[in-house]
Structure 1
Amino acid sequence: MTTRTTPEPPTAAPLLDLHTLVVAVRRRRRLWGSVALLGLVGGAGTAVLLPPAPTAVTKVLVAHQEDQPTDPGTLIRTDVALLHTTRIAGRALEALGSPEKPEDFMKEYEGRGLTNNLLQIEATGDGDAEAVARVRALADAFVADHVRRLREASEAEARTLLDQRERLRSELAEVNRAIGDDPPESGPGASADRESLFARRAELTSQITEFGQRAAEARIGTPQLVAGTQIVDAPRPVRYSLPATAATNAGIGLALGLALGLAAAAVGTVVADRPVLRRDVAAHLGASVIAELPRRSGWLWRRRRVRAARTRLVVSLARTVRGSAEPVSLLELGCARAAGALALDLASALSAERPVVVVDGLPDARLAGRRPRPGDPEVVGAERATTGSRHELRLGVGSVAPGTSWIDVPHLGTRTVLVVRAGHGSAAWLHTVARHLAEQHVEVIGLVLIDPDPRDRTDGTLWDGPPAAPNGGGSRPPRRHGVGLPRIERLPTWSARVPDSEQEAR
C-alpha cells in the first residue's frame, strides 16, 4: 500500500521584503545616481542660466502703540500685510513717477518681519539703482502711512477724552448752580443734600482734571512713536555670488534628484517583482544555484577576479557535461552574450577529449553568425541539432526569454544549465520557464547566476535533507535555507499545476 502525504500549506509571504527591496534598489544605482546627477547639474545650471533680478533691501524700525513683551508677532505681520496694499504701492509709484500699476508693482517687492518691531523690505528692478530707488520709496511710503495712522489714532483718542471732559464740565456747572441757588436750611435732611452736592462737585472736578491729563498724555506719546518709526538700515543692493548660489542650488538639486531617483527605483522594484537574491531565484525556478559569475568590470583587480571565477565555472561545467550520458545545453535568460561566451569556453575545454559541436539556438544566431577565430570549436545552427556523428559531443546554447519556441528546447539538450541574470526576469516568468521545462521533460541540472549582488548572503540551494530512516515514520526534516533556520519551502507554481496522474506517469 502506498501512503500519500499532503504537504503542509505554505506560510504566507510578506507583502514587502525589505531585504529584497534594499538589494534591488542598490542594484539600480545607475538609475537613481543618474537622476541625482541630473538634479545636481540642473541646480547648478539654473544659477548660471537663470540669475536672480537685481535686488535691494532695507530695514525699518516700527514702533507700535500696543507693544507688549509677550506679543507673538501679530503687529509686525499686520505691518507686512499693510505693506502689500495698493495704497502703499501707489504712493511709492507716485514718488518714483512710474506709470506702473500698483497691482503689478506689488509682485516685485516683499516684506518680512525679522522681530516684533523690525521690518525688512526687498524690491527688485532692472538694475541696482532702480532696485535701491524702489525700496527707498517703499520704505518712505510705509513710514509716512504708519506715522499718519499713529497721529490719527492719537488725535481721535485725545478728542474723545476732551469731549468727555467737556461733558463733565457741563455737569459740574449744573452742580455749582444747584449749590448756589439752594439757601441754607436747617434740619438734618437739608444738610445731607448739600453735603452730597459738594461731594459730587469734588468728584467731577477730579474727573475733569484726570481726563485733561490723559488727553495731554495721548498727544505727548505720539511724537515718541513717530520718532521711533524710522529707517535703521539704508537701502542697499544685495550682492549676488554666483559660486555660492550655484553650490546651494546644486546641493538642493542633488538632494531632490536623489530622493526622486530612490523613490522611482523602489516603486519600480515593487511593481516589476524581479527576484534578485539567490534564494528567490532558486525558489521560483525550482533548482539550486551551482555557480555565480560577476559581470565585467573596468578595474584591473576585478577583471582578474572575474576571470578566475569564470575559469572555475568552466571546469565545474566541464565535469558535469563529461559525466552526463545525455546532451547538455545552456539556456540563458537576460545574458545571451555571457551564455554564448561560456559555451565557447566550455567547448574549448572539452575539445581536447573528443570533437565538440556547439549548436546555436540563440536569437539571431549570435554564435553561428560571428566570424570564427583560430582554435574556436565548430558552431552550427539549430537546424543541425539532430544531425552529426555519434562521436561528437553536442553542446546546445539557447534562450528561455519571452518568445522562445519551447518545442525546440529539448533538441538542444535533455539536460540543461540555466544561465540567468539576477533581477532580469519577473517572478511570473521564472515560474513559466520552470513549468515549460518540466512539460518538455528537460531536467535542470542547476543555475548559473550572472551579475549577482555582491552582498547577497542568502543560500540558493534547495535541499530536502538526507533520506528518512526506515523507522522514521516517513517524515523528513524541514528544508534549511542559508542561515540554518528551519523553514517551509514554497513549492513552485508550475509543479502545483501539473496533475497528479501526470506526475506519477513521469
Structure 2
Amino acid sequence: MTTSTTPEASAATPLFDLHALVVAVRRRRRIWCTLALLGLLAGAAVAVLLPPPPAAVTKVLVAHADDQPNDTGTLMRTDVALLGTTQIADKALRSLNSSEKPEDFMQDYRGTGLTNNLMQIDVTGDSDAEAVARAKALADTFVADHVQRMQKAAKTESKALADQRDRMRDELAQVNKEIGDRSPESDARASASIESLFARRAELNSRIADFDQRAEEARTGTPKVVAGTQIVDAPRAVRHSLPRSAATDAAIGFVLGLVLGLAAAAVGTVVADRPVLRRDIAANLGASVIAELPRRPGRRWQRRRTRAARERLTATLARTVRGSAEPVSLLELGSARSTSVLALDLARALAAEGPVTVIDGLPGQELAGRRPHPGDPAVVGGERAAALSPQERRLGVGSVAPGTAWTGLQDLGTRTVLVVRAGHGSTAWLHTVARQLADQLIAVIGVVLIDPDPRDRTDGTLWDGLPTALRGHNGRHARENVTGRTERPSWARVPDIDQEAR
C-alpha cells in the first residue's frame, strides 16, 4: 500500500480529527459512565464511613494601632501567621492543662482572615465539647497575646518619646543657663549670639511639646486596642449534616470520576487508533460501506426498523451472489454472531433457487455449534469445502481477525463482503486485512458496518481514486484474460485498471 504525500492529500487529512475523537469517546461511554458512577458511590461512601471530626468555630475582632483604610490585609495575615505559632499553641494547651505537643495541636486548628480586622478560628477535637474548649482557649490566648504585644509596643514607644523629651529638656536648661538675665537689647555686640540662643530655646520648647503629645497619644492608643480586640462570636460546635455531606461528596466524586473517565477514554482512543467513522473504515479497507446494522436488536420500537434493514441487506446480498459467477463469502471482524445470523438469512433466501451449503470457517462455534431448525441450509466445516460439487451453490463464512489463516480464505470464496464492527479493528489491522485479501486475489465488494455510531454523518462510499487492493484486481484481470470470462458488474463500483492507466 502506498500513502499519498501530495499537498492535496495532506490538506484533506487533518492532523487531529476532533469529530472522530468525539465519536470514539462517546462510544466508550461505558468506561466514563462506570468511572463517574464509581466516583459517585465513593464520594457518598467517604461521607458515611469517614465523617468529619467534631469541630468548633469562633470569631475574633482584632484591633491594630496602625490600622489604615487602605490596608491590603497585611496586618491580618500577620495575625493569622502568629496564631499558627508554637507559642500560641503552647499557651492554649497550658490553659487546657493538656500534655499534647504544640506541634501536634497546630495541625488541629487554623485561622482565616475574613476582613482586615476579623479572624475566624476553626478547631477540631475528639468531641464537640473538647473542640469548643480548644477554640475558647485559642481565642483567649490570642487576644491576651495580641493585647500584651500592643501594650508592650505602646509602652516602649512612649518610653522612647519620653527619653527624647527629657534630653530636650536638659538641652533647654543648658540654653536657659547660657541666656541668663540677658535680653537681646542689652548688648549690641552680642545681639547675634543672643538671638540664636532665643531661637534655639523656642525650637526646643516646640519639640518638647511635640514629644509630650506623641507620648500621650501612644499611651492613649493602647486602651483602644485593648478594648477593640475581643471575641465577637463565642465558640460553638459546628453541626454536620450527613445527607448534605454525602450529597456534596457524591457530587464531587461524580465530577472527578467523569473527568477521569473522559480523559481515559480520550487517551485510549488516541492510543488504540481504532476507526469508528464509516468514512475512515471505508478508506482503510479500500471498499465502500454498503449497509449498516446495529449490534443488538435494541428497544422494542427499534426492532422493526432493524428487521427491515436486515431484510434489505439480505435481499441486496442475494442479488449480488446470484449475479456473481464466483463463490462469495462473508468475512467478519469483531462481529462473528451478526455475521452468522446474516449468513443464515442469506442462505435461506438463496435456498429457494436450489440447495445452498454454508461453509463454516469461523474459529468459534457460532455456526457449527448452533441447533439446526427445519429448513435451514446445510453447514459444513472448512475442511470439507473441497468435497462439495462445483455446481452446488456455496456461501463461505470466515474471519479476518488477528490469528486468521489467510491461505484458507480462498476456499470460502474469491469475492467477499466484510462484516466489520465499528471501532473493533485498528487502522494498522484494517490495512493488513486489505493487503492480505489483495494477496489472496479476493475482491472486496463491500463492507457491512456493525454497531455504527448513530450520529455519524460521514460518507462511506469511495467515489474516486483507485481501490486499495490493486494487486488483487490486477490478478483478477489477468485471470479473466486467461479464462476468457467476463465478470458481471456489481453495484460496488470497481474502476478498470487498464482504463485508469491510460
TM-score relative to the length of structure 2: 0.90
Q: 1:365 touches 1:381 (CA, 8 Å); kept in 2?
A: no
Q: Deviations over 1:64-117 (max 9, x none)?
A: 111111111111111111000000000110011110000000001111011111
Q: Does 1:155 align with 2:159?
A: no
Residue 303 of structure 2 aligns with an amino acid whose one-letter code is R
Q: Deviations over 1:104-138 (max 9, x none)?
A: 00001111011111000000011100000001100
Q: 1:143 touches 1:229 (CA, 8 Å); kept in 2?
A: yes
Residue 322 of structure 1 aligns with an amino acid whose one-letter code is R
Counterpart Cα distance in 2 of 1:395 and 1:90 = 89
Q: Which residue of 2 aligns with 1:359?
A: 359
Give aligned pairs, total.
473
Counterpart Cα distance in 2 of 1:206 and 1:433 = 104
Unaligned residue ranges in structure 2 (runs of 5+): 480-502
Pairwise CA distance, 1:273: 1.1
Pairwise CA distance, 1:370: 2.4
Pairwise CA distance, 1:441: 0.7
For 1:417, what is the secondary structure of its paired residue?
strand
For 1:132, what is the secondary structure of its paired residue?
helix
Q: Which runs of 4+ in 1 moved over 6 A?
A: 181-185, 499-504
Pairwise CA distance, 1:196: 2.2
Q: Does 1:224 align with 2:224?
A: yes
Residue 285 of structure 1 aligns with an amino acid whose one-letter code is L
For 1:59, what is the secondary structure of its paired residue?
strand
Counterpart Cα distance in 2 of 1:503 and 1:310 = 30
For 2:410, what is the secondary structure of its paired residue?
helix
User: CA 1:185–1:290 in structure 2 vs 1: closer, same or farther (change >3 Å)?
Assistant: closer
Q: Deviations over 1:207-236 (max 9, x none)?
A: 212211211111111001110000000000
- Matches for 1:110-121 after TM superposition, within 5 Å: 110-121=110-121
Q: Which residue of 2 aligns with 1:479?
A: none
User: CA 1:491–1:207 in structure 2 vs 1: closer, same or farther (change >3 Å)?
Assistant: farther
Deviates more, 1:200-209 or 1:61-70: 200-209
Pairwise CA distance, 1:307: 1.5
TM-score relative to the length of structure 1: 0.90
For 2:295, what is the secondary structure of its paired residue?
coil
Q: Which residue of 1 aligns with 2:138?
A: 138
For 2:190, what is the secondary structure of its paired residue?
helix
- Matches for 1:167-246 after TM superposition, within 5 Å: 167-180=167-180, 187-246=187-246
Q: 1:283 touches 1:490 (CA, 8 Å); kept in 2?
A: no
Q: Deviations over 1:20-57 (max 9, x none)?
A: 11111111111111111111111111111110000000
- Matches for 1:306-317 after TM superposition, within 5 Å: 306-317=306-317
Q: Deviations over 1:149-201 (max 9, x none)?
A: 00001001100000001000100110111112769885433123222222222
Q: 2:330 touches 2:419 (CA, 8 Å); kept in 1?
A: yes
Counterpart Cα distance in 2 of 1:81 and 1:295 = 64
Pairwise CA distance, 1:425: 0.5
Q: Does 1:319 align with 2:319?
A: yes
Counterpart Cα distance in 2 of 1:210 and 1:137 = 42
Q: Which residue of 1 aligns with 2:103?
A: 103
User: CA 1:183–1:214 in structure 2 vs 1: closer, same or farther (change >3 Å)?
Assistant: closer
User: CA 1:40–1:396 in structure 2 vs 1: closer, same or farther (change >3 Å)?
Assistant: same
Pairwise CA distance, 1:391: 4.3
Q: 1:295 touches 1:450 (CA, 8 Å); kept in 2?
A: yes
Residue 38 of structure 2 aligns with an amino acid whose one-letter code is L
Q: 2:184 touches 2:195 (CA, 8 Å); kept in 1?
A: no
Unaligned residue ranges in structure 1 (runs of 5+): 1-6, 465-488
For 1:282, what is the secondary structure of its paired residue?
helix
Q: 2:333 touches 2:399 (CA, 8 Å); kept in 1?
A: yes
Q: Which residue of 2 aligns with 1:291?
A: 291
Counterpart Cα distance in 1 of 2:263 and 2:466 = 30
User: CA 1:456–1:67 in structure 2 vs 1: closer, same or farther (change >3 Å)?
Assistant: same
Q: Deviations over 1:264-308 (max 9, x none)?
A: 111111111111111111111111111110121442112222122
- Matches for 1:452-491 after TM superposition, within 5 Å: 452-464=452-464
- Matches for 1:360-439 after TM superposition, within 5 Å: 360-439=360-439
Q: 1:296 touches 1:303 (CA, 8 Å); kept in 2?
A: no
